[in-house]
Amino acid sequence: MNAAAYLERIGYQGPRAPTAETLRRLHLAHLYAVPFENLSIHWGEPIQLDDEALFEKIVTRRRGGFCYELNGLFAALLRALGFDVAMLSAGVGRSAGEFSPDYDHMTLLVTLEDRWLADVGFGDSFREPLRLDERGEQMEGDLAYRVEETGDSRLLMARREGGPWKAQYRFGLEPHVYADYADRCHFHQTSPDSHFTQNRICSLATPDGRVTLSGMKLITTRGGEQEERELDESEYAEALRDLFGIEVKRFS
């Protein structure tokens, strides 16, 4: 792991000691620099779950990825800096109150003096690590998060101010390796039932909101205000390059 190159990729120049403050800063820097995107699936680029392949894609080629890629490589960076980190299996909350299968999402457990939930691969979710063992609300602006304990599992809940609590995902605390996620990663790359095969997505957090390409639509959120605009292919390629630093090789 070339940690210096990775830190340059995310524009990080802060402390490197394995502390909660370093984790917080790294987490934010990653979310502001590396997009959540599934373009490889639509461009016919097989996704390989190993540190070397992910480093080449995300750091060297300055691409993004989805949860297995982003959290997997972020875990490798944290380990290189001396953090105790484990990859966890999660099932994503669905509207009917059910959850997707285990290994459908990868999230991270970072153990310091306290235990922290870190996740740079879930799209529009918490921006700073959450205390895993805190049962009260953890606030980020007008968003509140809460970790609930349910037997051997934990539930990550979220709500906007005044709104209902919704389950983001359910996860266990057993550590895993890349091979454990292989079947679900293959499913998301190939199955017509996966939402990742149904639509192209590229999304990046910004200090005051988020910018997203969903299909051919550009969605910009600033200070709670959202703007949407349909793009043609030329505009799409320009937005992908200028907003995310990604060059279009081909269109699906």
Catalytic residue numbers read 67, 105, 119
Query: Which distant-in-sequence residues (6+ apart) come within 8 Å of 96 by Cβ?
Result: none
How far from the centroid of its chain's Cα atoms is residue 122's Cα?
Answer: 4
What are the CB-based long-range contacts (under 8 Å, 24+) for 183-192? 183/103, 184/101, 184/103, 184/104, 185/47, 185/49, 185/68, 188/38, 188/41, 188/66, 189/40, 189/41, 189/46, 189/47
Greatest alpha-carbon span in the chain: 51
What letter does residue 101 receive in the DSSP assignment?
Answer: P
Residues 6+ apart with CB under 8 A from 26: 10, 12, 14, 74, 77, 78, 81
